[in-house]
Structure formats: structure tokens, C-alpha cells
Structure 1
């Protein structure tokens, strides 16, 4: 029945058809258990903890949140709400878990309460932890659970046993590190780390399970902002620490804590390298840190002496534009070589020690697993829309120095993987089928993969089938997807155009995955030729492509949207007299920029949650691309929409603009849209503003997500004069 719903409602109810699909997969090293999360249906937002036996194909539920909460509604502590906003998590139930080294014990939270699951038996119980609990993680040996509560890093026995024998009055739950000043927390990632560095955690167990490395965050230097809910004037505004460009960041340091109560502070040059981007601790070597300078033109890989806390330099990267942290690195190979991803000779490569393991045409994206002889990683191939899983050898007899694609399905695909114990779990999307397929495979020496088991999916099938044409446009060969209405024939004449980009850093839209193009196809079926263009600044192609936006973030992105549009008009039925653009976040910024500075090309814009005054966005992101605003004010003025210089670039005639923003957004605060509206009003430029009460940057509420699509389509048709 749900499959008959109109697409906007169907997409909203299924969270863009992701509910019911396996996610967050762990694989036991003995190959007998695959652990994952999945909701019971394609419209249920509450995820359960599942276990699959690859040998028998049998699957069971280890933890059902509804049963554990006895049907009560989940209540999230503020720290958990913030964590979910940073990870863009819109679901409920068990949305994350952590396991021990053997993948026999899992820990997770519900309503700030701590639960552990015995994954062999499939039993779950609550531990009497001090709450509300955030980010629980078992020790590698499975005997303890570390977690954060009230800004303190705490540890509790995994079996709930008393501290001093059976007659002790309380279970073994005690703090290892407690806040020593206002605005200090232990064991949590600060805003910048979670929002911009993809570091979502703040503590790490030792391989021997006897110590923890924990981050101390002092955000007292950070400016305080207020996020109010104008729809509820009786409610006190939320006070948040927001490090806007050019202002102070939180101070982040590290310390080692022993379960015996010992403490050793970790020392590095935090004045020169204030950003803690990555931490890695494995049995293959001492703890590894990746720290960056504030201007992000240099980063150091440091090894920690666990006896003294001193750090030694292992490697240093420098770049005249910027350096970048990548998923899965740094790490050690079993024989003690540093694994890293770095740019060399115009190519993003995988390194073991000083030796590059890959080269062109691969563009390495992330390290997924490090084995005894090889490294599993993801990379773009010769075509940026084809994202595969590969293995490269750092030692061993055959294929030394080469790489090999893993997986049995023909490319192009978008593939991710986890690997352990001779097995791998591949999750693959393609233009050939809806959603994703998740298979447990046994990789062979030739790159082929024998399918051992399949993880079932309850994700619903969309009622429409995207038909993107993936092409390269213009002299710069900009990757594009072009989507025409279902049933369109050449005799129907040219179509009004909707540019549908993200168009900026860390946001690739042109990929070989059917569901990635669903919304664009729906807009096409409303009577548009939809164009998605990944111009310079977007990931997956080359370091030079990504870094071409330095100091000219907006102008370069806009240039490539215009170039792609005009190049595609030579081979597709595009009516260049009726061109609109829509986008969210960076895409919203780009849409506003297009309507203001190129009204000769664009005739209407939907501007969603845009960054308009670039001085109001955060330090790590904005200073990477534009520098420090006090040192390069002209750069900020050029790229912003609401400065005198920014608006002076606006050209005639005025173009219709719909500005949409969530009032509860703590990432791109609503001040951006309000300042844009005020500037447009002062300049006499007509526009519409749609405020979304109680909505954050995700806009994941079902009714909001559904009606946003409908309202955008109505605005675009009105603005372009369509029936």
C-alpha cells in the first residue's frame, strides 16, 4: 500500500528509501557473526540490532528497542541529540553500537540508558550505569564498558559485577576523568571535530584493555550563540558554543587513564597544531595522532609514548593550499609501517611507510581494513561516478605493489565494505537496481568474490525509476547527470531546465547509484530537464579539482554550473530561456549566488539553508577554503552574499527566489537566511521566505520533507511560467 503513495510522501516516510536496509555492519574475526542494524520495515524508523550466521544463513534479533523500553517513547539527552545532528542521523531506536575485539559483546544506549548484548546468545540486558549515557564502548577484551556521562569519562564492568566482591553496595561504575572546570568535558568530540573532521568520538581503548586515551575539551574560549524557537516564545533559547570563522576554537588535549587510576598527559605542540583530527590505537604500534595547523596547510602524524605521554614525529604533510584528514588513516600495518593517504604528483595515493601502493587512475578515498599483507580501501576509478573497493599489497609474494578490485558485480557501482576473518561484507548500489545489496563474500585471489550469505533488506522500492545519463560536459569535462521526464520524446521540444547541484566540497552527487537520483527524476517528471553537475571543488576526481576553489569558493562553483549548462545544451533539449536552480546547504548558497550574479542565465532559485555571510560559518571549514577573515577580508567579501561587495556583484534583472531555513539549525544558523532577506529587501529585490519551525539542518520530519518538495515544485513552475 505504501508503494502507491505519491513520491514526496513515500520518500519522506521511508527516509529516502533507506529504512529497512542493513547498515552499521561489524564482522566477527572468526567469521561466524555479522552484526548490523536494520529497522523492521521500510517505514519503521526504529532500528534493531541483528546478528547473521554466514554459515547457516540464519539471522536473529539481539536487541529490539521497543521491547527494551517497554513501548515507551525514546527520550534523548542533549549530548546524544547533538551527536545525531552532527552525524545527520534522523532515525530512532538503536542508531549506533560498539563491539569488543571478538565481536561477542555490543554496547549501545536507549534514552540515555546503557545496554549490552551477548551476540552469541542473542541476549540483552541493561547495566546500572550513571546516566544519561553517551557513546558506550566495550574494551577489546569485553570486560568493561567505557562511556561518557555528565562530561565525565566513566567505566563499568560489562557483567555488572560489584567492585569489591559480592557484598559491595554498588556495581563497578566509576569515573576515570571528571570535568575540572566549567565548560570542560572528557571523552566527547567537540563541534568542529564532529561537524568538519568526521571524528565523532573522544576516547579510545588500549589494545590490552587496561587504559584509555581520552580527549579533554574546554570550549570556554568559544563564543556563545543562542538558538531560539520563535514558535514557542515561552521556551528558553538553547545556548550553543559556535566557533565562527576567525574566532576562538575549543582547546583540545589528550590524557592516558589507567583502570588503576593512573593519569599521563599527552604532550604535543597544541599552539602550532591545535586541531586533533584523528586518533588510532591498535596492537600494531603505539597510539597515533593526526594533528593539524589552524590554517590546515600542515599536519603531523605523531606516535605517543604511553609511559611518558611524549610524542614523536612519524611523518609530516605540507600543502600550499590545504591538507585533509581521510577515513581509516593514520594506522599501522602489522609490521609497523605508517598507513596514510596523501596527494603526490597530482594523484591521491595510498602509502605504507614511504612507499606509494597506488597511482593513477585510482583516486583513493578511505582505508577500510589492514590485513597481514594487504590493505582494503575505497577509490574512484577512471570514471568518478564508479566508486569501488580495492586491495593493495604492502608485502607478500604475489602482486606486490599492485592493486585489484574486489567484488563480483560488474562496475560501475558505489561500493563500501568491512572485512575480517577471511570474509568481507560488500554493500553495493548501482544504476541497475534500486537501493543497496549487502552480501557476505569470500574474496578470491583474482578479485572475484564468492557470495556466502545475503543480508536481507526491507527497504521499499520507489514508484519511479531514475534514468540519469551520466556524461562529461564542456572543456573541463564536468561530471554531470541529465534526467528527462518519463516518456519524453525528441518531438516534444526543449524543456525548462532545473539545475540540481550540491556543487561544493565533500558533496559528490553524480554517482552510479539509482536511489541517488530519485528526487531529481521526480522533478524531471514535473516537466523539467534536470541537470546535476559536480564542478570543481567536489570530491572524487583529483586533488587539483578539489583545491581549485581555494579563495574563490563561490565564483568557481558557479562558473562550472554555467559551463555545464551551456555545454549540455548542445546535445540535450534544454530551453535556456527558462532555467532554475535549487539546492540545500552549500547547494542553497550556490543557488542564491546564481540568481544574484548570473540572472542572465538563471531565472529562479530555491535557496535552502544557505551560508550567506561566510564569516558566520565555522572555523575549520571556512578557513580551509578562504583563509582567516581578519587576514583576508576581501576574500570573504567576494564569496559572501550579504556583504557590500557580495551584493554589488548582483546583477539585473531581479529573479524570483524562495529562501527556506530551519529555525532550529545549529550548523547553518537561520541568521544566514535572515541576513540575506534583509539585504534583498534593502536592495528592493522581491523574494519569498519559508521558515521551518523546530527543524534543524537535516529537515528529516516526514511532513516537512514531503511538503518541501511539493512547495519547491510549485514555486519553480510559477516562477518559470509553467502550467
Structure 2
């Protein structure tokens, strides 16, 4: 009897231990940040190349400081500014150094405008004298020192101003700026969103000229959104948004002469319907480089402008049957020869041209992609870049001479390696991750990749995860429609190949994107672990149109956005459904943004394959989306009506058979709620039953407070009920 009691007790203890070790993840844990990886704060290298600066905040005092650290040791060496030593400024949220690092701009009370743009109150801090000067009582945009620090240029209410630092006086150099009409010196909505920059002015090296862009939005149609807020009446946000085929801003290039206080418009040709995606001063005195892209985005001209007589010369023309990618890779060397990247041989590679645009060498070559260009070190005559030479799901960092010789791989581990170089290319900080390794940060010598020290890892996260027995993210490939596609899979931790499991597929599928890589779990992956605990298999397949496998693979979708991508998702689902352990009658799909567009198409055009779909913030008709993005891949609706309409889910609502959930934020300035509202109306008129949810005033990311927890609870319940 005593033995039996001991045996029962031991069995209960064992069960208790097993229970404590095999925890099931919850949505509350995921969205509380419990499984967040620690990341290295964004560093800014000093000119000396051996030190970097970091913005620190003291949570107890509320003070802010910019501190200097040694790359080699990681120890703090000194402090450039600390608000505890300043009168009239308690804290600041951002900073920037002047070119010679003698002065600093401190930003306070920032106010976001769109995705990248904001305005703030700025202070000028002189590092040597410790003097603090308020730039203006107004919230301004993009203040930038002249090269000699004697002046600042900034934008206020769509006009450019020049501020004299010594005299504490400002001069307004453009006068026609007006909201929703004329913009000087910063970009309009569509440039900011799709061409990725806000500041549209540049000082020359002498500080006596300012090149700037002017946007005339007069002909651009307005879009409006109600902001419901908490008051009795909603307010209205009205902004210029050019939808595909509609009028863009008329953009022009201007040159301001500081001495004469006069501006001159630069003639860039007779065509007025074009983009200016980049301006950059060359290393030759008073020669500005301008990139001009035609509206179809299949021809880009690199033009040099003489800032003395304002003459122009086309130096290089890049053409593509589909589209030309705009990058920030243009780098001018001491003799004004320049580095350029191009897909002209079928893969993205690095090229070197002389100052007249004559090709000197193709620096990199091979059936792989250069995925990041880090810069050029003139001391060693070496370029630094990241590539897929070790497979499209991996990234490694290399250096190479400008003649294409002496290539060195300077990272060792297989996975995703991202480098951040010091200003003089003495060091680089490597951020490494793989499917079984959360982010690790290490310091290396740039000349050979030698490890200097470990900086930060996420071993604590691995300890937090241990009791949950998470399933690995398995990387593989799947042959679909004659192409070998990258795939990851997450299975239940107690997976039994003799059983049948429902399958949920995730995808994004947008042009040039990648969802399958050799990297550790992101937040959604923890949600997939929760679903796996509930008996689902989750898979993701990167089909045609995605990136890093060559231009042909990426650009096959031209003029038919959604056609080949959908064919690959349907074919992949069918192939996976043939596996003994997949229930082919219980396959679902979900996605966000472009992925929401794809999920919507999948439940309609793939109605015999997919039983369920969730579409978050989807494009439902490409006619509703902006010019630059949509026309890059589709030309205009006037030229390609069938491409737009045949591949837009709003025109296929009659095909709905499965269970469909559509979700949108009412404050989405990117993919407008219009997409979902028009889709909902079409589904209603087709007498199709579906579920939908609108999140008030939430933008494209649908977040804030408990919003994400609520959204993922809704999606989890929908999957459990319908798959």
C-alpha cells in the first residue's frame, strides 16, 4: 500500500514537471513582447572610424545624452551633450551631427506626417562651446547644415528657408509653397512612400548653391479620409494622392544661388511627365547628378548639371523591358568615376564607370544577386557588398577591388549576415541570424572579417522559449510550374506523419520581396507556433515575382500583377495537399497588404483549392492604388485595362465558395479603406456571405494599444472555426 502511494505520487510529480516544461504559447504573451529579440541600437559612426555615437535616455531623470563609444572595446569614451548640463532643454528624441562633427541638431517634440516624414522643434548645439540655440519656434522639416556650418536650410509649410547660424536670422528662399498645391524642398506623398525619401534639397560642397525639387500638385486629385477620434464630430484628412493613370505632381529641378539670392529652373528636357527619384552632388566642383525616370519607369537617365551655367549632359542611360529599380548605390570616387548597380545582365551587380559614363569594369558577376551595396574604401580600393552567392535564402558580406579581382568573403556563418561599417571602413558590426539562431551582433575587422569582440546575443530569448518546445522552421524547396521555389514549414511539435493536418499558407508575394529566408522567428512565427499547438501545419512559398533569384524570375509578372503569383500559390497548395499528412480539403491562406490582395484572389480564383482566406489591408483593385508603385509593374490602366481588371479580386466576387475574412484600418493612407468598402459592396451585391472587420483610425499597420491582440485573436478564432 505504501509502495503504491509512492508510485502514484511519483507519477503525479512527473506529470506536473512535464506540464510545467511543455507550455503552450498564448496570444497575450506574443503581443506583450515576451519573445522579442534584443537589437542593437542604431549606431552612427564618427569620422575617425574607431568611435560611434548613441542617443541615450535616462529613465529616472528623463535626461537625454549623446555618448561616444569605442568600436574596439565597446566602452564609453566621452559625452558630446547631456541635457542635465543644459538650460531650457530637458530631453530630445533625435540628433544629427554636422559634416565636421563640430555642431549638432537636437530634435524635440516630433510630429509624424506620413510614413517617413515628420516635423519638430530643433536646437543647434555647439559641441566645443556648449552653446545651445533654438533654431525656430516653428516645427520645421529636414534641417541640414551647409558644409561649413555657417548656415542651415530647412522646410516650413512647403517653403525652403536658410538660417544664418552666427546672425540668428532666417531668409525665405521660396515663396509659393502651399498645402495641397506647391511643395518646395520635401517630397509629395507618393514620392515619400514609393521612392523612399523626404528631403528634396542638397547643399553643394562649397555651400554656395542649393539644388532642390519643386512639386506642383495642382492637377493631382485629392483623397480624403474621416478621422473619427473621440470627439462629437469626426475631422477630415485631405491630401493629394495620384491613383494609377491619374495626374502626378509636375516635378522640376531648381538651383538657388546663396550670393545672388536667385533660383534658376534647370531644363531637363521637353517631357514633363517624369520622376526625379534622386539628386546628388558629384565630387567635381559644382556638378550635380540628377536621376530622371520616365513615367513607365523603364528608362532612367543619369544627368550631370553644371551649377555655373546650368547646362546638362546625359551621362548614362539605364533601360529595361520591365522597369528600372531606383537605389541609393550611386557613389562618386575621387576622380568622379562612379559606382552603379544594374540588372542589365539578368542579375543585380556592381559596375564602375568613368566620369563621362564609359564602362570601366563590371565589378561583380555571376548567377546571384548583390543585395546590398555598403560603400567604397579609397584607401584599400575595395568595395563592400552583401549577396546571395551562398543561396537565395542566405546573405554573406564580401569585399572586392574595383577591377573585380581579390574578392573576399568576410562573414563566416551561414544564414543572414548584415553589416554596418564604420566611417573609414576599419570595422563592421555584423548582425547574424538563421532559422535556429536569434540575432547576434559581433564586431569585425573590415579588411579580413576577423572577429574583434562579441557585442550582443539573444541567448536569454532561447531560455525563455525552452519550456514551449517550439517546432523548428524547416527550409526546403518545392518544384512548382517548372520552378524551384523556396519554402518554409512549421509543423506541430507532436507531428505524426500518419495523421492528416489542416494547412494554413502565408505569403506576401509582392514584386522583389522575400518571405522565405534563413532567419529566426519573427512575431508572426510565434503566432504560427500557437496555431501549430492547435494542430495546424503552416507553410510559406515564395513564388514567381519575388526577389533575389534573378531579373527574369522577378519580372515575369510585368503587366499581369497577381497572375503568375497566384498560379504558383494554387499549384503549391495542390502539391502540398497531395502529401499523406495534409488534408487537401482544409487548406487556408492569409496575407497582409499585397498578401491580402493575393489571399483575396486565392479564395476566389482558387476556390477549389482554398477553403478559407484572411485578407488584411488588401488592394482589391489596382485602379485604387498609387501611380509610382502600380504603373512600375502594370503601366497605366488606360494602356493595360485587362491586366488591371482580370487580376483584381473585386472583379471575381461571384467565385467565392469558401470562408472569407477581410480586415482594414479606416485611417490607412496607403492602401485606402476604399479597397475594402468597394469589395464588401461587390460581395453583398453578389449575395456572398463573408466576415469583415474595420479598425477605426488605424493605419496600414493596424496597431496601437490592444489592437494587434484583438486582430490576432479574431484571426485565430476564424481559423479555428473555419479550417
Please indicate the TM-score interval, normalised by the length of the shorter structure. Answer: 0.7 to 0.9
Question: Given the two structures, how large is their TM-score scaled by the length of structure 1?
Answer: 0.84
Q: What's the secondary structure of 2:392's corresponding residue?
A: coil
In structure 2, runs of 5+ residues without a counterpart are 1-22, 110-119, 354-358
Q: Which residue of 1 aligns with 2:611?
A: 603
For 1:407-556, list aligned pairs within 5 A: 407=411, 409-431=412-434, 435-444=438-447, 447-451=448-452, 454=455, 463=465, 467-474=472-479, 475-485=482-492, 487-491=493-497, 493-516=499-522, 517-556=525-564
Of 426-435 and 688-697, deviating more is: 426-435
Does 1:361 pair with 2:364?
A: no
Q: Which residue of 2 aligns with 1:228?
A: 226
In structure 2, do the counterparts of structure 1 residues 200 and 477 end up closer, same or farther at CA, with 3 Å as the change threshold?
A: farther
Cα distance in 1 for partners of 2:426, 2:698 equals: 42
Does 1:403 pair with 2:400?
A: no
Q: What's the secondary structure of 2:600's corresponding residue?
A: helix
In structure 2, do the counterparts of structure 1 residues 628 and 478 end up closer, same or farther at CA, with 3 Å as the change threshold?
A: same
Cα distance in 2 for partners of 1:338, 1:235 equals: 52
Q: What's the secondary structure of 1:503's corresponding residue?
A: coil
Query: In 2, are the aligned partners of 1:297 and 1:318 still within 8 Å (CA)?
Result: yes
Cα distance in 2 for partners of 1:491, 1:433 equals: 23
Of 559-568 and 526-535, deviating more is: 559-568
Picking from 180, 194, 197, the partner of 1:196 is 194
Query: In 1, are the aligned partners of 2:244 and 2:631 still within 8 Å (CA)?
Result: yes
Q: What's the secondary structure of 2:283's corresponding residue?
A: coil
Query: In 2, are the aligned partners of 1:551 and 1:626 still within 8 Å (CA)?
Result: yes
Alpha-carbon shift at residue 500 of structure 1 (Å)? 0.9
Does 1:636 pair with 2:653?
A: no
Cα distance in 2 for partners of 1:10, 1:440 equals: 32
Of 700-709 and 29-38, deviating more is: 29-38
1:410-438 deviation digits (Å, cap 9, x = unpaired): 12224142342232333413126665333
Of 352-361 and 178-187, deviating more is: 178-187
Picking from 150, 175, 178, the partner of 2:175 is 178
Q: Which residue of 1 aligns with 2:714?
A: 711
Cα distance in 2 for partners of 1:116, 1:459 equals: 40
In structure 2, do the counterparts of structure 1 residues 63 and 579 end up closer, same or farther at CA, with 3 Å as the change threshold?
A: farther
Alpha-carbon shift at residue 466 of structure 1 (Å)? 6.3
Q: Which residue of 2 aligns with 1:152?
A: 159
Cα distance in 1 for partners of 2:439, 2:255 equals: 41
Alpha-carbon shift at residue 613 of structure 1 (Å)? 1.6
Cα distance in 1 for partners of 2:121, 2:268 equals: 36
Query: In 2, are the aligned partners of 1:8 and 1:705 still within 8 Å (CA)?
Result: no
Does 1:688 pair with 2:687?
A: no
Query: In 1, are the aligned partners of 2:35 and 2:461 still within 8 Å (CA)?
Result: no
Does 1:343 pair with 2:361?
A: no
1:305-330 deviation digits (Å, cap 9, x = unpaired): 1112332111001112111112x222
1:588-641 deviation digits (Å, cap 9, x = unpaired): 111111011111111111110000021110001111211211122111111112
Query: In 1, are the aligned partners of 2:81 and 2:127 still within 8 Å (CA)?
Result: no
Cα distance in 1 for partners of 2:154, 2:284 equals: 25
1:464-483 deviation digits (Å, cap 9, x = unpaired): 65621111111311111111
In structure 1, runs of 5+ residues without a counterpart are 75-92, 164-170
Alpha-carbon shift at residue 569 of structure 1 (Å)? 4.9
Of 633-642 and 194-203, deviating more is: 194-203
For 1:36-47, list aligned pairs within 5 A: 36=54
In structure 2, do the counterparts of structure 1 residues 545 and 663 end up closer, same or farther at CA, with 3 Å as the change threshold?
A: same
Cα distance in 1 for partners of 2:83, 2:329 equals: 33
Q: What's the secondary structure of 2:595's corresponding residue?
A: helix
1:20-75 deviation digits (Å, cap 9, x = unpaired): 6334432122124213457889xxx9998554222452237767899999999x9x
Query: In 2, are the aligned partners of 1:425 and 1:438 still within 8 Å (CA)?
Result: no
Picking from 135, 145, 164, the partner of 2:142 is 135
Alpha-carbon shift at residue 180 of structure 1 (Å)? 5.1
Q: What's the secondary structure of 2:405's corresponding residue?
A: coil
Picking from 9, 12, 25, the partner of 2:43 is 25
Does 1:274 pair with 2:281?
A: no
In structure 2, do the counterparts of structure 1 residues 385 and 270 end up closer, same or farther at CA, with 3 Å as the change threshold?
A: farther
Query: In 1, are the aligned partners of 2:142 and 2:155 still within 8 Å (CA)?
Result: yes
In structure 2, do the counterparts of structure 1 residues 347 and 224 end up closer, same or farther at CA, with 3 Å as the change threshold?
A: same
Q: Which residue of 2 aligns with 1:57?
A: 74
Query: In 2, are the aligned partners of 1:367 and 1:378 still within 8 Å (CA)?
Result: yes
Alpha-carbon shift at residue 494 of structure 1 (Å)? 2.7
In structure 2, do the counterparts of structure 1 residues 255 and 581 end up closer, same or farther at CA, with 3 Å as the change threshold?
A: same
In structure 2, do the counterparts of structure 1 residues 172 and 456 end up closer, same or farther at CA, with 3 Å as the change threshold?
A: farther
In structure 2, do the counterparts of structure 1 residues 542 and 256 end up closer, same or farther at CA, with 3 Å as the change threshold?
A: same
Query: In 2, are the aligned partners of 1:132 and 1:150 still within 8 Å (CA)?
Result: no
Query: In 1, are the aligned partners of 2:367 and 2:550 still within 8 Å (CA)?
Result: no
In structure 2, do the counterparts of structure 1 residues 457 and 38 end up closer, same or farther at CA, with 3 Å as the change threshold?
A: farther
Cα distance in 2 for partners of 1:675, 1:46 equals: 49
Q: Which residue of 1 aligns with 2:13?
A: none
Q: What's the secondary structure of 1:347's corresponding residue?
A: coil
Q: What's the secondary structure of 1:237's corresponding residue?
A: strand
In structure 2, do the counterparts of structure 1 residues 153 and 244 end up closer, same or farther at CA, with 3 Å as the change threshold?
A: same
Cα distance in 1 for partners of 2:397, 2:646 equals: 40
Query: In 1, are the aligned partners of 2:390 and 2:396 still within 8 Å (CA)?
Result: no
Cα distance in 2 for partners of 1:429, 1:69 equals: 42
Cα distance in 1 for partners of 2:86, 2:542 equals: 45
1:649-672 deviation digits (Å, cap 9, x = unpaired): x536x2111111000001101010
Alpha-carbon shift at residue 104 of structure 1 (Å)? 5.0
Picking from 617, 628, 643, the partner of 1:620 is 628
Question: Given the two structures, how large is their TM-score scaled by the length of structure 2?
Answer: 0.84
Query: In 2, are the aligned partners of 1:663 and 1:695 still within 8 Å (CA)?
Result: yes
Alpha-carbon shift at residue 283 of structure 1 (Å)? 2.9
Cα distance in 1 for partners of 2:685, 2:271 equals: 43
Cα distance in 1 for partners of 2:678, 2:145 equals: 46
In structure 2, do the counterparts of structure 1 residues 566 and 247 end up closer, same or farther at CA, with 3 Å as the change threshold?
A: same
In structure 2, do the counterparts of structure 1 residues 254 and 709 end up closer, same or farther at CA, with 3 Å as the change threshold?
A: same
Alpha-carbon shift at residue 105 of structure 1 (Å)? 4.0
Q: Which residue of 2 aligns with 1:580?
A: 588
Does 1:380 pair with 2:377?
A: no
Higher Cα Rg: structure 1 or 2?
2
Query: In 2, are the aligned partners of 1:500 and 1:520 still within 8 Å (CA)?
Result: no
Query: In 1, are the aligned partners of 2:50 and 2:422 still within 8 Å (CA)?
Result: no
